[in-house]
Chain A
Amino acid sequence: MSSLDLRQLHDTEFPIPDEMNGNVAITSLSKIYNWSRRSSIWPMLFGLACCAIEMIATAAARYDTSRFGMEVMRASPRQSDLMIVSGTVTKKMVVPIVRLYNQMPEPKYVIAMGACASGGGPFKEGYNVVSGIDQYIPVDVYIPGCPPTPQALLHGLISLQKKIDGQSLANMDDVPWYGVGPSDPVPVPILGPDIIDPRQMELIRQQAAAAANGQAYGIRELPAAAMDVAAKKVAKAGAAGAVAAATATAVVDEATLAARLERRMEALSRKRALASKN
């Protein structure tokens, strides 16, 4: 075997020696990398509310997440791959959650379990409730239900496995931690007179300045036509609102996005240069 030119292995017609027949499987690197990752997703051991009880029931004997390699729940974020946000996220609690998320090493995934974590749920209108954890950290899988049954949670976990299966090592957008370096930490919210997302500082400042000039504060004025339509036609109002929301968030995040893209491109070119040199 030592005399073998390894490049011959690329040839699909390469004869497999008799003694290795039945012992060799050929696959892609992505596949084996993903297989090993998705078969040992360690969730973080922390629960928020009612959904945590169903999460525990899912981990227990009847439903048994260890069938999917997920029974090892780690109390430290440094050792976990998956954060299951299991319950209502309050403004007071989102601060530690963002901090925990930042402390998790990549690759890391987030599951929003239940209605509250996905969008506020029955408590959405509450003054201390964050209407969806995705306003602060990126979410991979949403599980509906209040609380989701253990079966639903298992389905969510399997969906996450499928998502990991679909990630390719060749695509730096899929696996940015692999070569490009860690992603930026999520800025930790501040508990002021109300919760403040540091990414919205500029918007808040503009609003405060506008308020000083006597304009309405904190209320989005949709165009009069849109408001009129809203009262009559559901679908059109939804679209108008969605467009307005899209432009607003685009303004906020543009600078950050550009900086991140630039950094990524730079790292990519560095990597390509290294590869071509070899």
Chain B
Amino acid sequence: MTDQMIAPAAPGSLDSGDVAGYLKTKFPDAVKDDTRQGYSGVVIDRNRLVEVAESIKNELGYNYLSSATAVDYLGIEDSMEMVYHAYRTSGGGPLVFKAQTPRENAEIPSLIDVWPGADFQEREAYDLYGIHFPGHPNQKRILMWEGFEGHPMRKDWKEAYYEQELKPFDSRWPKGYARRAEELNMFGKNVKYPSDLNLSRLTDHSESSLYSGMGLGVDVEPVPDSEGLQTDKLVVNLGPHHPSTHGVFRMVVTLNGETIDQLEPVMGYLHRNHEKIGERNAWNHNMPFTDRLDYISSMSNNLGYAQAVEKLMALGARYTPPTYRAEVIRVLMVELTRIVNHLWAIGFLLNDLGAFFTPSLYGIAEREKVLDFFEAVSGSRMMCNYMRFGGVFKDLPERIRSTANLVNDQVRDFDTMKYLTELINDSLPRAIDEYDRFLTDSEIIKARTQGVGYLPAEMAIAYSAAGPLLRGSGVAYDVRRAEPYSIYPELDFDVAVRYNGDIYDRYLIRLDEMRESVRILKQILPRLEATKGESIFSGNKAIYMPRVPIGESYGRVENPKGELGYYTVSQGDPKGPQNPWRYHVRAPSFINLTALGPMCKGQKVADVVAILGSIDIVLGETDR
């Protein structure tokens, strides 16, 4: 192609195939194709990353940075790389670009000026991989504490209870004798210390480092306000065990009077090493772990992971996509989960506003009915572990015994389809209407939420906000429509969108989405009837342990809390035992929190918990 041909007036209209060509022509010595087997996208020279990224965003229109994560290729290429997935908010596929760095003195320029949403993700890469990001204004650890020894996600870093690279461990299988890990540890605990540890010079930096760069003005720097009063800045810690933080989340807030000057989220209190454990696990071992990410909507997490691995498997020769009935059941589960999650989220938002537990109890009562269905189908109320690569674990049972529908203490036995029909046509819509009737016009709720926690559309996109947070700000972006998966293309539903970008609109959009979900579920019911008796698994004799070819994939779904993405890399021996080389979760709760600081600035301290509640975070996913 010549320059004239690939320099159209609106490069934003190029599809993803041409985009790589455009970049290669514009930056011939900085951009080249990623030619590794099973990989896609372009590799960018790290010295010119910022320049190319600006072109990607401004000229090509990839204004939404979905995921940025690091991979350590120790022993394969002896380098580390950052992988970025950028999208257009008008829809379509990703532009995948990568920047590589040697493992020693790893350094990649920060993209925070191009996409502010890279903030936390770069801090995470610094924390877990030790990659430095020149240009990042606040580069410190985010999940571990300051002062922790080493960068644990590096392939050569071993944890205290390290046994072996791959599961299943020899000590458990096939001979089957287990040994407790603490028996071999001198301290009887999950700890290891550097051998040059000097206890007499031990200092705990974990707290003091939080306050560095916060401009602590306590008794030092009086700030005159408009009335001429001299007031001190005050630092308030909310959390990590504060009941309104929805888990173990902490906010360090600098106050000027009652107004928030600065808010810094502190997380990692539930960092349970999902990704490191995930890299030791075999592919299907990770499915139950995904349940525990966003533990209110485990079914949706399952779907995202199943799709990511199915994309990888599709690179190989022997792969059959999930059957139609499997997809129908998957959508049924996911949309029920969405309703459950939003009922819960609205209930707890109202908790934060002061309506202590009364609205929540309405939501929880409805949730129990859905959980009874999940329990009958998958065997567990919350941690369903239901989806498999190529289908689902089991077909729906014939009958359901539901204790949530007790009449005179009698457990009732239902026909499954009848139970579902009643739930979808009657019970759930009634619960949604009930919320609507009791809450939407409440004067107190309006006074507390309208105009509070404002997030404009440009900022929501820039901060990579996702889900109701993004759509509440007027950006009609929903992965189900933007990059459709499963059977969503044939279903009739609207992407809910609201334009005011405040807490009230985020509340309303959850009601809208629940109504849309009910609309989808009503279309699912006849499909369930029609496919009765068909296969729910496309694989061979329900062999769940797949052979995954070498390559990378990024599977993403619209979770109730936003876009949930799984970035997986397979480098395994196609014949031997296999596990993910890299297993990264792009958690919506984590990245949505990037916008929390800017949203709270200038608000009253009493509104912080409400703003946090309107984002609807869950800590299992935030900290992973």
Q: Is the CB of B192 within 8 A of A123?
A: no
Q: Closest Cβ of chain A: how far from B441's Cβ, in Å?
A: 25
Q: Is the CB of A93 within 8 A of B269?
A: yes
Instruction: State whether the Cβ of B120 lies closer than 8 Å to any Cβ in chain A.
Output: no
Bound state CA distance, A249 and B185, in angstroms?
A: 13
Bound state CA distance, A62 and B197, in angstroms?
A: 52
Q: Mark A65-78, 1 if CB is under 8 A from B, else 0.
A: 00000000001000
Q: Closest Cβ of chain B: how far from A202's Cβ, in Å?
A: 10
Residues of B within 8 A of A120 (CB): 190
Bound state CA distance, A127 and B276, in angstroms?
A: 9
Which one of B148, B186, B361 contacts A207 once the chains associate, using CB atoms below 8 Å? Answer: B186
Which one of B185, B188, B243, B365 contacts A45 once the chains associate, using CB atoms below 8 Å? Answer: B243
Given known contacts A61-B364, A124-B181, is B204 in contact with A192 (CB within 8 Å)? yes
Which one of B161, B195, B268 contacts A125 once the chains associate, using CB atoms below 8 Å? Answer: B161
Q: Is the CB of A48 within 8 A of B270?
A: yes
Instruction: State whether the Cβ of B425 lies closer than 8 Å to any Cβ in chain A.
Output: no
Given known contacts A50-B383, A197-B189, A217-B195, is B361 in contact with A90 (CB within 8 Å)? no
Q: Is the CB of B277 within 8 A of A126?
A: yes
Q: Is the CB of A53 within 8 A of B382?
A: yes
Which one of A50, A130, A217, A248 contacts B382 once the chains associate, using CB atoms below 8 Å? Answer: A50
Bound state CA distance, A196 and B190, in angstroms?
A: 11
Among B23-31, B212-220, B289-297, B465-473, which stretch is in contact with chain A?
A: B289-297
Q: Is the CB of B248 within 8 A of A93?
A: yes
Q: Mark A175-211, 1 if CB is under 8 A from B, else 0.
A: 0000000000000001111111100110111011001
Q: Mark B437-464, 1 if CB is under 8 A from A, else 0.
A: 0000000000000000000000000000
A contacts, CB < 8 Å to B: 45-50, 52-54, 56-57, 60-62, 75, 87-88, 90-93, 96-97, 100, 116, 120, 122-131, 135, 146-147, 149, 190-197, 200-201, 203-205, 207-208, 211-212, 217-220, 222, 230-231, 234, 237, 241, 244-245, 248-249
Instruction: State whether the Cβ of B74 lies closer than 8 Å to any Cβ in chain A.
Output: no
Q: Which of A45, A92, A200 has the most chain B CB atoms closer than 10 A to its own CB?
A: A92
Q: Which of A127, A149, A197, A212 has the most chain B CB atoms closer than 10 A to its own CB?
A: A127
Q: Is the CB of B179 within 8 A of A128?
A: no
Instruction: State whether the Cβ of B288 lies closer than 8 Å to any Cβ in chain A.
Output: yes
Residues of A within 8 A of B273 (CB): 123, 125-129
Q: Closest Cβ of chain B: how far from A149's Cβ, in Å?
A: 6
Instruction: State whether the Cβ of B173 lies closer than 8 Å to any Cβ in chain A.
Output: no
Bound state CA distance, A100 and B143, in angstroms?
A: 22
Given known contacts A62-B368, A191-B206, is B268 in contact with A92 (CB within 8 Å)? yes
Q: Is the CB of B202 within 8 A of A196?
A: yes
Bound state CA distance, A191 and B207, in angstroms?
A: 9
Q: Closest Cβ of chain A: how far from B206's Cβ, in Å?
A: 4
Residues of A within 8 A of B179 (CB): 230, 237, 241
Q: Could you tell me the dominant secondary structure of chain B's interface residues?
A: loop
Residues of B within 8 A of A207 (CB): 186, 193
Q: Is the CB of A194 within 8 A of B361?
A: no
Instruction: State whether the Cβ of B112 lies closer than 8 Å to any Cβ in chain A.
Output: no
Q: Closest Cβ of chain B: how far from A92's Cβ, in Å?
A: 5
Which residue of chain B is the closest to A206 with respect to CB atoms?
B186
Which residue of chain B is the closest to A151 with respect to CB atoms?
B403
B contacts, CB < 8 Å to A: 143-145, 147-149, 152, 159-163, 177-199, 202-206, 240-243, 247-248, 268-274, 276-277, 280, 288-289, 292, 295-296, 360-361, 364-365, 367-368, 381-383, 404, 619-620
Bound state CA distance, A5 and B272, in angstroms?
A: 66
Q: Could you list 9 A-B pairs, sorted by A, with CB under 8 Å? A: A50-B383, A53-B382, A60-B360, A131-B182, A195-B189, A200-B187, A203-B186, A208-B195, A218-B187
Q: Is the CB of B365 within 8 A of A122?
A: no
Which one of A57, A193, A200 contacts B197 once the chains associate, using CB atoms below 8 Å? Answer: A193
Which residue of chain A is the closest to B188 with respect to CB atoms?
A245
Residues of B within 8 A of A195 (CB): 189, 191
Q: Is the CB of B190 within 8 A of A204?
A: no
Q: Closest Cβ of chain A: how far from B238's Cβ, in Å?
A: 12
Which residue of chain B is the closest to A197 with respect to CB atoms?
B189
Bound state CA distance, A193 and B289, in angstroms?
A: 27
Bound state CA distance, A56 and B295, in angstroms?
A: 13
Which one of A45, A47, A128, A222 contacts B247 once the chains associate, using CB atoms below 8 Å? Answer: A47
Q: Closest Cβ of chain B: how far from A142's Cβ, in Å?
A: 16
Q: Is the CB of B177 within 8 A of A234?
A: yes
Bound state CA distance, A90 and B267, in angstroms?
A: 12
Which residue of chain B is the closest to A241 with respect to CB atoms?
B183
Q: Which of B187, B199, B273 has the most chain A CB atoms closer than 10 A to its own CB?
A: B187
Q: Closest Cβ of chain B: how far from A266's Cβ, in Å?
A: 31
Q: Which 10 pairs show the lowest CB-CB distances between chains A and B?
A: A126-B273, A193-B149, A241-B183, A50-B295, A127-B159, A46-B241, A211-B195, A123-B272, A191-B206, A60-B364
Q: Is the CB of A125 within 8 A of B243?
A: no
Q: Is the CB of A244 within 8 A of B183?
A: yes
Which one of A92, A234, A241 contacts B145 once the chains associate, using CB atoms below 8 Å? Answer: A92
Given known contacts A61-B364, A149-B381, is B185 in contact with A128 (CB within 8 Å)? no
Q: Is the CB of B186 within 8 A of A190?
A: no
Which one of A87, A194, A212, A217 contacts B148 once the chains associate, using CB atoms below 8 Å? Answer: A194
Residues of B within 8 A of A123 (CB): 272-274, 277
Q: Is the CB of A122 within 8 A of B292?
A: yes
Given known contacts A92-B268, A125-B161, A204-B187, is B197 in contact with A46 (CB within 8 Å)? no
Which residue of chain B is the closest to A99 with respect to CB atoms?
B241
Q: Is the CB of A50 within 8 A of B187?
A: no
Q: Is the CB of B241 within 8 A of A49?
A: no
Residues of A within 8 A of B180 (CB): 241
Given known contacts A211-B195, A245-B183, is B364 in contact with A131 (CB within 8 Å)? no
Bound state CA distance, A208 and B186, in angstroms?
A: 12
Q: Closest Cβ of chain A: how far from B128's Cβ, in Å?
A: 10
Q: Is the CB of B365 within 8 A of A49?
A: no
Q: Closest Cβ of chain B: how far from A85's Cβ, in Å?
A: 11
Residues of A within 8 A of B185 (CB): 218-220
Bound state CA distance, A211 and B145, in angstroms?
A: 26
Bound state CA distance, A234 and B179, in angstroms?
A: 8
Q: Is the CB of B186 within 8 A of A124?
A: no
Residues of A within 8 A of B199 (CB): 196, 201, 204-205, 208
Further 8 A-B residue pairs, CB within 8 A, beyond A125-B161, A128-B268 = A46-B243, A49-B292, A61-B364, A92-B206, A125-B273, A131-B182, A194-B148, A208-B195
Which one of B186, B189, B292 contacts A131 once the chains associate, using CB atoms below 8 Å? Answer: B189
Q: Is the CB of B187 within 8 A of A53?
A: no
Which residue of chain B is the closest to A217 with respect to CB atoms?
B195
Q: Is the CB of A127 within 8 A of B160?
A: yes
